[in-house]
C-alpha cells in the first residue's frame, strides 16, 4: 500500500517487489492470483534464482508493506522532554524546558544516551528518514550523525545556530563562531557519508529571533555557495514570536519591502527550494504566495501546535497556494515520536480548521498518509528516491500488521491485536483503522535502503 497521489492510495494485492543488493526497487510484479505466482514470475525476468534471494512476505490479509515515514521536523536533543510542557507557550517553553535540556547535551555521555534512544524509538515507529535538529554543540551533533549512520536511519542532521536572545549558557558567542562551528559539523558529516547516502548536514538557523542579521546573512551566503545543502528553520509558529520578529527585523534592517516573517528569511537568501519551514501556522496570503514562489516547503507539526497552543495551521490552504507540505512530530514541542500520531493529529487539526467555517479544510486518511510519506520526501529533497514503491526508488519501508495472526494463518481471525480486524473490512477501512488507532505495536519490521533496521519481536 502506498500513495499514488495526494488523494489516492494504491493497493497492490498479491504483488512481489524486488529489491537489489544496493536497496533499490528493481521490479514490481503486481496483481497476481497468489504471492507465490507473483514471486515466481518475477525471478526469471531478473535472471534471479530462488536460492539467491531472501523473501519477506505479508502473512495475512491484514498485513501490508507501507513506505517508511518521513519526519520532516524534530529535535533529537529534546527527546527526554516529550510530554513535559505544562501549560507553556512557545517563548516561555523554550526558556523553561528546552534551552536547559539542550545545553546539558554538551555532556557526551548524556548525548549518546539520548540520541541512541531517539533513533531507536523513531525507527520503531516506522520513521525511516528524519530531519533532526541537534544542539549548538558540535561534537554531540556529529555524534548524532554517527549514530544515525550506524543505525541506518536516513537523517538530515543540523547543528543549531543561535547567537542572540538566548541564555548566556546556551548560545553562539558571535556570528563568526556560529558559522565556523557550522562548517566544522558540515565537514565532519560529509566525511562520514560523502555521497549523502544516509546522513547529510543541514543549515539550521534556529529561528529568526535567535539569530543576528550578520549570522542570517552568513548562512544565506553559505547556502548560495553550497546548493547541495538543505536548510531548516522555524517560521510563524506563535503570535508573540511573530511580533518579536517584526520588532527585531524591520524592513530598514533587512532591506525587504515589508515586515513579514517570510520576507526576513527571503532577504537573507534563506527562503529557497531547499528550505524546510517548520509550522507556518499564522502565515499571511502574501507569505504563502512568496513561499510557493521560492519553492520552500512547510513541515506541518499538528501535535506540537496543539500541545503548546500555537494554533491550527491551514494545510489545505497552503497546498492550494502551491506550497509543498509534509509532517513533523516536532519533538518535544510535540509529545509523540510517532509520525502516525502526527498524521492522526493532522486529520484532527484540519477538522478544527473546518469547524471554523471552511469544510473543505478537512484532510482525508489518504491525504495525511501522503503527507507522512511522499509529501515528506519532497520536503526533505528526496522525491523520487523514497516515499513510495516505484521502480528506481529505494526500499525504505515498514511491514505493518493489524490484529494478530490466528492459528489458521490469520484469515479473518485476528482478535487481540491493538487494532482489531474482524475480517469484513475493506482495505480502505483497514487503513483508516490503522491511522486512527495504530501505533508502534503494528510496525513489525522496518527497512532503510533495503537494510533491516528494526524488528519488533
Least Cβ distance, residue 200 to ligand GUN (angstroms):
21
Partners of 137 in the beta sheet? none
CA–CA separation, 40 and 34 (whole Å): 10
- Contact of residue 363 among Fe ion, ligand GUN, none (CB under 5-8 Å per partner type): none
* Cβ atoms within 10 Å, residue 52: 9
Residues 188-191: contacts with CB under 8 Å, at least 24 apart: 188/138, 188/142, 188/145, 189/142, 189/145, 189/157
Closer CB to ligand GUN, 128 or 304, in the complex:
304
Residues that contact ligand GUN, how many (by CB under 6 A): 11
In angstroms and rounded to an integer, the radius of gyration of the C-alpha atoms of the chain is 22
Is 170 a binding residue for ligand GUN by CB under 6 A? The answer is no
The minimum distance between CB 278 and ligand GUN, in angstroms, equals 7
With binding defined as CB under 6 A, does residue 237 bind ligand GUN?
A: yes
| Closest residue to ligand GUN using C-beta atoms | 333
User: Per rule CB under 5 A, is residue 330 in the interface with Fe ion?
Assistant: yes
What is the nearest approach in angstroms of Fe ion to the Cβ of residue 294? 21
Residue 171 interacts with ligand GUN (CB under 6 A): yes or no = no
Pick the binder of ligand GUN from 137, 330, 367, 396 (CB under 6 A). 330
Please tell me whether residue 75 binds ligand GUN under the rule CB under 6 A: yes
Eight-state DSSP code of residue 362? P
Residue 261 contacts ligand GUN per CB under 6 A? no
Nearer to Fe ion, 275 or 443 (CB): 275
Closest CA to 232 of 253, 254, 257, 211: 211
Regarding beta strands 275-279 and 204-205, do their DSSP bridges make them parallel or antiparallel, or are they unpaired? Answer: unpaired
CB 196 within 8 A of CB 261: no
Which ranges constitute the DSSP H helices of 47-174?
A: 90-93, 99-104, 108-124, 138-151
2 or 206: whose CB is closer to ligand GUN? 206
Q: Which helix (H) or strand (E) holds 262?
A: helix 261-267
CA–CA dist 198, 13 (Å, integer): 30
Among 206, 316, 345, 454, binds ligand GUN (CB under 6 A): 206
Is residue 104 packed enough to be buried (19+ CB in 10 Å), middle (13-18) or exposed (0-12)? middle
**Contact range with Fe ion by CB under 5 A, out of 57-65, 198-206, 246-254, 325-333:** 325-333
Show contacts with ligand GUN in window 105-144 (CB under 6 A): none
Whether the CB-CB separation of 386 and 128 falls below 8 Å is answered with: yes
- Give the residue nearest to Fe ion (CB): 330
Cα-to-chain-centroid distance, residue 22: 23
Q: Which DSSP state fits 251?
A: H
Regarding 207 and contact with ligand GUN (CB under 6 A), the answer is yes
User: In this structure, what C-alpha cell is assigned to residue 98?
Assistant: 528546552
Helix (H) or strand (E) holding 218: helix 213-225
From residue 140, give the alpha-carbon distance in Å to each of 135, 260, 355, 427: 8, 34, 44, 44
Least distance CB 164 / Fe ion (angstroms): 18
Check binding of 79 to ligand GUN (CB under 6 A): no
- Of the listed pieces 90-98, 151-159, 287-295, 343-351, which binds ligand GUN according to CB under 6 A? 90-98
- Which of ligand GUN, Fe ion, none interacts with 206 (beta carbon under 5 to 8 A by kind)? ligand GUN
Integer Cα distance of 207 and 237 in angstroms: 10
Which of 63, 234 has the CB closer to ligand GUN?
Answer: 234
CB of 268 to Fe ion, least distance (A): 20
- Which lies closer to ligand GUN via its Cβ, residue 223 or residue 308? 308
Residue 234 as a binder of ligand GUN (CB under 6 A): the answer is: yes
Largest Cα–Cα distance in the chain? 73
Rule CB under 6 A: is residue 159 a binding residue for ligand GUN?
no
Given ligand GUN, Fe ion, none, residue 237, with its beta carbon under 5 to 8 Å by kind, binds ligand GUN
Q: If contact means CB under 5 to 8 A according to the sort of partner, which of Fe ion, ligand GUN, none does residue 98 touch?
A: ligand GUN
> Per CB under 5 A, which of residues 271..290 are in contact with Fe ion?
278
Which residues bind to ligand GUN, rule: CB under 6 A? 75, 90, 94, 98, 206-207, 234, 237, 304, 330, 333
Which residues bind to Fe ion, rule: CB under 5 A? 278, 330
Amino acid at each position: 500500500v502506498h500513495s499514488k497521489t495526494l488523494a489516492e492510495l494504491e493497493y497492490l494485492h498479491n504483488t512481489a517487489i524486488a529489491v537489489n543488493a544496493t536497496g533499490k526497487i528493481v521490479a514490481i510484479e503486481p496483481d497476481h492470483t497468489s504471492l507465490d505466482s507473483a514471486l515466481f514470475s518475477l525471478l526469471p525476468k531478473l535472471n534471479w534464482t530462488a536460492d539467491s534471494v531472501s523473501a519477506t512476505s505479508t502473512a495475512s490479509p491484514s498485513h501490508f508493506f507501507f513506505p517508511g515515514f518521513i519526519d520532516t521536523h524534530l529535535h533529537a536533543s529534546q527527546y527526554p522532554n516529550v510530554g513535559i510542557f505544562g501549560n507553556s507557550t512557545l517563548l516561555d517553553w523554550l526558556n523553561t524546558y528546552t534551552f536547559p535540556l539542550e545545553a546539558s547535551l554538551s555532556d557526551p555521555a548524556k548525548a549518546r544516551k539520548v540520541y541512541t534512544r531517539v533513533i531507536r524509538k523513531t525507527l520503531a515507529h516506522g520513521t525511516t528518514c528524519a530531519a533532526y535538529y541537534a544542539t549548538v554543540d558540535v561534537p554531540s551533533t556529529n555524534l548524532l550523525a554517527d549514530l544515525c549512520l550506524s543505525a541506518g536511519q536516513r537523517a538530515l542532521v543540523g547543528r543549531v545556530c543561535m547567537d542572540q536572545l538566548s541564555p548566556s549558557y546556551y548560545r553562539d558567542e558571535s556570528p563568526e563562531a556560529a558559522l565556523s562551528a557550522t562548517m566544522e559539523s558540515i565537514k565532519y558529516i560529509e566525511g562520514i557519508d560523502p555521497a549523502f547516502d544516509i546522513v547529510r548536514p543541514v543549515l539550521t538557523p534556529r529561528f529568526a529571533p535567535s539569530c543576528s542579521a550578520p549570522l542570517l546573512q552568513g548562512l544565506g551566503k553559505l547556502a548560495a555557495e553550497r546548493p547541495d545543502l538543505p536548510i531548516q528553520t522555524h517560521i510563524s509558529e506563535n503570535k508573540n514570536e511573530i511580533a518579536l520578529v517584526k520588532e527585531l527585523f524591520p524592513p530598514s534592517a533587512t532591506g525587504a519591502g515589508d515586515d513579514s516573517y517570510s520576507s526576513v528569511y527571503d532577504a537573507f537568501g534563506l527562503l529557497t527550494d531547499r528550505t524546510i519551514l517548520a509550522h507556518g501556522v499564522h502565515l499571511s496570503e502574501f507569505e504563502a504566495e512568496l513561499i510557493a514562489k521560492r519553492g520552500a516547503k512547510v513541515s506541518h507539526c499538528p501535535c506540537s501546535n496543539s500541545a503548546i497552543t500555537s494554533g491550527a495551521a491551514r494545510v489545505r490552504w497552503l497546498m492550494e497556494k502551491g506550497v509543498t507540505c509534509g509532517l513533523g512530530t516536532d519533538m518535544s514541542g510535540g509529545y509523540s515520536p510517532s509520525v502516525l500520531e502526527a498524521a492522526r493529529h493532522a486529520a484532527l487539526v484540519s477538522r478544527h480548521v473546518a469547524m471554523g467555517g471552511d469544510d473543505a479544510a478537512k484532510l482525508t486518511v489518504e491525504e495525511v498518509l501522503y503527507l507522512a510519506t511522499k509529501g515528506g520526501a519532497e520536503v526533505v529533497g528526496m522525491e523520487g528516491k523514497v516515499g513510495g514503491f516505484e521502480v528506481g526508488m529505494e526500499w525504505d519501508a515498514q511491514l505493518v500488521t493489524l490484529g494478530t495472526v490466528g492459528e489458521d494463518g490469520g484469515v479473518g481471525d485476528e482478535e487481540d491485536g491493538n487494532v482489531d480486524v474482524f475480517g469484513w473490512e475493506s482495505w480502505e477501512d483497514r487503513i483508516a483503522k490503522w491511522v486512527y488507532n495504530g501505533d508502534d505495536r503494528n510496525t513489525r519490521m522496518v527497512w532503510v535502503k533495503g537494510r533491516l533496521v528494526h524488528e519488533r519481536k
